[in-house]
Amino acid sequence: MIDLVARQIQILRAIIDEFIETGMPVGSETIDKKYNIGVSPATIRNEMVYLTKQGYLIKSHISAGRVPTALAMRLYINELVKEKELSVADEVSVKEKIWRYRNQMEDLLYETSRVLADKSHALGIAMTAEGRMFHSGYSNLLQMPEFYDINLTRQVLHMIEEEQVMDQIFESNHSENAVKVVFGQDLGNKDLDQISIMFVELPGTNCRFGVLGSTRFDYSYVLPIMKYFKGLIESMAE
């Protein structure tokens, strides 16, 4: 349940949109100049202080701006983001690439990780019921400024090679949403604060697939593309 009033939600959405676009801490001046909030800069600042106290924003150590927390991003994903409608071209290209593997689950999951990496511009991941992991799109990580940090990249690459660790991460999310999201801030390792993992569980199996990248995914596109994958793969199993 959202515990914020409409104006606070509007400001928080603007901050998250700006952060996703730029990757930089967001100040009240930027929100005032770029987004049509309809209130004074002083009011925006006061609301940002309130949002910080409520756990939706944190102060940046490199500027006076704020960045959204996992709590804010989860609210954004569950309640605020406007999902794009996939184009026919998107749907056809996905189906063409994975349809041939519909009767071989391991091959299907591997190809799914490859296509997801291409569509999301992130790291595609998949896990079989037996715990075998597939990864694709390592180079995509290096296009994200967050992964210029060699320590972060090293820890992420080590993490995805540990099947037991990844299984624990998947199991830690008990959301009933079609697409589940685990943020680095949920993992108890401050070095991973800037990452997120979006994944889907296939009903009746212990198979999962998803993407790993920064917290700044284009959620409006990646959420519907993952839902499409889920529906398509489930229809293949019928």
What is the per-residue pLDDT across 79-107, written as a single tens digit (0 to 9) for each? 999 999 999 999 999 999 999 998 999 99
Instruction: Indicate which CATH number applies to the domain containing 33.
Output: 1.10.10.10
Burial of 222 (0-12, 13-18, 19+ CB in 10 A): buried
Q: In this structure, are 98 and 205 located in the same domain?
A: yes
Residue 160: both structure tokens together: 């995805």
Residue 62 has pLDDT above 80, yes or no: no
Q: In this structure, are 130 and 167 located in the same domain?
A: yes
Q: In this structure, are 151 and 226 located in the same domain?
A: yes
- pTM of the predicted structure, to 2 decimals: 0.91
1 domain-assigned: no
Q: Locate all alpha helices (DSSP H) within 62-137, ordered by sequence.
A: 70-75, 88-98, 105-120
Per-residue pLDDT band for 238 (boundaries 50, 70, 90) equals low
> By three-state DSSP, how is residue 148 classified?
helix
Distance (Å, whole) CA 56 – CA 12: 8
Residue 135 has pLDDT above 80, yes or no: yes
45 domain-assigned: yes
Distance (Å, whole) CA 41 – CA 47: 10
Q: Are 200 and 113 in contact (CB under 8 A)?
A: no
Q: Which residues pair with 133 in a beta bridge?
A: 127
Residues 187-211 have a mean pLDDT of 92
Instruction: Indicate which CATH number applies to the domain containing 211.
Output: 3.30.450.40
The radius of gyration of the chain's CA atoms, rounded to the nearest angstrom, is 19
The DSSP line for 102-123 is TT-HHHHHHHHHHHHHHHHTSE
Per-residue pLDDT band for 112 (boundaries 50, 70, 90) equals very high
Q: In this structure, are 214 and 99 located in the same domain?
A: yes
Distance (Å, whole) CA 97 – CA 61: 44
Residue 171 domain boundaries: 88-237
209 domain-assigned: yes
